[in-house]
A and B are shown apart, each in its own frame.
Chain A
């Protein structure tokens, strides 16, 4: 098994299968397979998926950009958002 996304256990086969089903851009691939949605938020897998996508669709990697980077980028305690504010 070639693991692309370690957090969500997404393999290279999963990505290739999804691309062949027609999900041919990185945002759709993220939504259908779930890569990059684990605790690390795509730090280890985005580039790897992008290269698989470029290889399978015959595109130049330069045309592809990573998926939208949303906050929080790292695991955050919910507790920090709800305390009384000190100035």
Chain B
């Protein structure tokens, strides 16, 4: 493994070349990755999947680069944006004290009169707020475009997407799998969490490796994000290329986001989503912290805790909804407030009558919700699912959200796996392949709540 050197705000930083830029900085002790848009609050490593704005920096003159999504390269010049004199000590964080007078949209509600001064106000306010600065010279990136015609497009290579791709690859090679990250498998990539599939417990990472090896003859686009589904085509971007994909059938297996919690100071560096912890530990081999507090009311929270202990973390406690055997569990407690100046130092929790303070340097939030944006763009419909606290699509009995577009993804690993398989079999069948899916269908449909299965799906008209 080669070492690379990068220039971080004038300092030279060294790390291995297989890390992402954000992980490299984290390993070298950087905890404040950016300052927030309005109040200049410190923000740290948070989602690790390119789904938030916390790690955006200026890299080689290009503003707003999501540093958790780019690999380090020798000689990179990296700077945190939008802070003065620097992000560690930002004088403008004094704005925090004026929360009451700087309510949402204050700038276009209040600073509009007299009209001839409006431009002046806006320019002043813009110098306090905003993201990075536009590059002054051409950054010299080579862009390209490509048109792809395919039978089946699978969006997302998590457990559901990979099992769909595996099934499809047995029948046709005219299929494309698009994954927005570098690694296939989503949160299970390289993960040592124990999951039960096919009636035996095994490590998630090993299972993913097994499936990935079996997938053959399918084009896999990594580091490529599908950013829009249009009535006739799908648009994706990756590796500085715009892909315009015309597909006869689409399988959406876009997985989940981890959910943020609402409590005082809930944006302090050190408060992370599990996806961020996963990306640091399993994709970059960087330990995010020593003393962790875990929040999660999902079925896998103890498995996650077990897997983190194996990686050398100490679990200070789990705030959850049931007692666990080997852990300090706080049942019925909710988080009140986080304390700490530049990084998380302690968390105060309460169950209504009693308050407790727990020292920890990292809080991990492990509850998930399903992604829904591409479903809505396809013309499908989602509904709130109370038991899982998530949106969930309305599908027909062959898992279509609209004719020709399927959705695969459940709330358990097992369900995701079989939904991926079942949706791809249905897609193949509708293309004229000779496949049988009835037996699997009964198992799949029995675990989906009745209110989310509809008789007939049709495309809603879209407002773009």
Interface residues, chain A, CB within 8 Å of chain B?
A: 1-4, 6-15, 17-18, 32-35, 38-41, 43-45, 47-48, 50, 61-62, 64-66, 68-77, 79-83, 85-87
On chain A, the residues within 8 Å of B371 by CB distance are 43
Cβ-defined contact, A69 with B227, below 8 A: no
Stretch binding the partner chain, chosen from B209-217, B260-268, B302-310, B397-405: B260-268
Partner among B38, B145, B226, B384 whose Cβ is within 8 Å of the Cβ of A83: B145
| In contact, A61 and B46 (Cβ under 8 angstroms) | no
**Selected contact of B260 from candidates A6, A65, A70, A83, CB within 8 Å:** A6
- Give the contacting residue for B227; candidates A2, A38, A40, A71; CB below 8 A: A71
Task: Say yes or no: B237 contacts A80, CB within 8 Å.
Answer: yes
Interface size class of B (residues with CB under 8 A): 35 or more
Q: Closest CB of chain A to B458's CB: distance in Å? A: 17
Bound complex: CA A61 to CA B391 (Å) = 10
* CA distance in complex: A81, B455 (Å): 40
Interface centre among A3, A17, A45, A65 (most CB of B within 10 A): A3
Contacts of B37 in A (CB 8 A): 7-9, 38
Our pick among B36, B225, B369 for the contact of A6 (Cβ within 8 Å) is B36
> Is the Cβ of B260 less than 8 Å from the Cβ of A74?
no
Q: Which 7 residue pairs across A and B have the least CB separation, nearest first? A: A71-B228, A69-B373, A14-B104, A9-B38, A80-B242, A33-B104, A72-B227
Q: Are the CB atoms of A40 and B51 closer together than 8 Å?
A: yes
A1 lies within 8 A of B96 (CB): yes
In the complex, how many angstroms separate the beta carbon of A18 from the nearest chain B beta carbon? 7
A69 to chain B, nearest CB (A): 4
In the complex, residue of chain B having the shortest beta-carbon distance to the beta carbon of A64: B384
Is B383 in contact with A65, judged by CB distance below 8 angstroms? yes
For A65, the chain B residues whose CB sits under 8 A away are 381-384
Are B144 and A86 interface neighbours, CB within 8 A?
Answer: yes
The answer to whether the Cβ of B285 comes within 8 Å of any Cβ in the partner chain is no
Q: Is B105 an interface residue (CB 8 A)?
A: yes
B147 cross-chain contacts in A, Cβ below 8 A:
85, 87
Task: Give the complex CA separation of A32 and B36 in angstroms.
Answer: 20
CA distance in complex: A13, B180 (Å): 34
Whole-angstrom distance between the alpha carbons of A12 and B263 in the complex?
9
Main secondary structure on chain B at its contact with chain A? loop
| A18 pairs with B104, CB closer than 8 A | yes
Check A12 against B145 for contact (C-beta < 8 Å): no
User: Shortest CB–CB separation between residue A9 and chain B, in angstroms?
Assistant: 4
When distances are taken between beta carbons in the complex, the residues of chain A under 8 Å from B382 are: 65-66
Which residues on A sit within 8 Å (CB–CB) of B377? Answer: 69, 71, 73
| A66 contacts across to B, CB distance below 8 A | 372, 376, 382, 391
Query: Counting CB contacts under 8 A, is B114 at the interface?
Result: no
Q: What are 22 A-B interface contacts by the 8 Å CB criterion? A: A1-B96, A2-B264, A3-B266, A6-B43, A6-B260, A6-B267, A8-B104, A35-B104, A39-B56, A40-B51, A44-B47, A44-B51, A44-B52, A47-B391, A61-B384, A62-B383, A62-B386, A65-B383, A66-B382, A72-B227, A73-B225, A83-B145
Q: Mark B139-154, 1 if CB is under 8 A from A, else 0.
A: 0010111110000000
Q: Which residues of B contact A15 (CB under 8 A)?
A: 104
Q: A66-B372, A83-B145 are in contact. Are A73 and B38 (CB under 8 A)?
A: no
Does the CB pair B51–A17 fall under 8 Å? Answer: no
**Nearest opposing residue in chain B for A72, CB measure:** B227
> Smallest CB-CB separation from B65: which chain A residue?
A75
B131: CB under 8 A from chain A?
Answer: yes
Q: A80 contacts which of B53, B56, B241 (Cβ < 8 Å)?
A: B241
Contact A40-B41, Cβ < 8 Å, known A4-B262, A72-B227: no
Distance from A13 Cβ to chain B, minimum over Cβ atoms (Å):
7
Q: Known contacts A1-B264, A44-B260; decide if A6 and B54 are in contact (CB<8 Å).
A: yes
Interface centre among B66, B143, B381 (most CB of A within 10 A): B143
The residue from A12, A38, A48, A62 contacting B384, defined by CB atoms under 8 A apart? A62
B39 in the interface, Cβ–Cβ < 8 Å?
Answer: yes
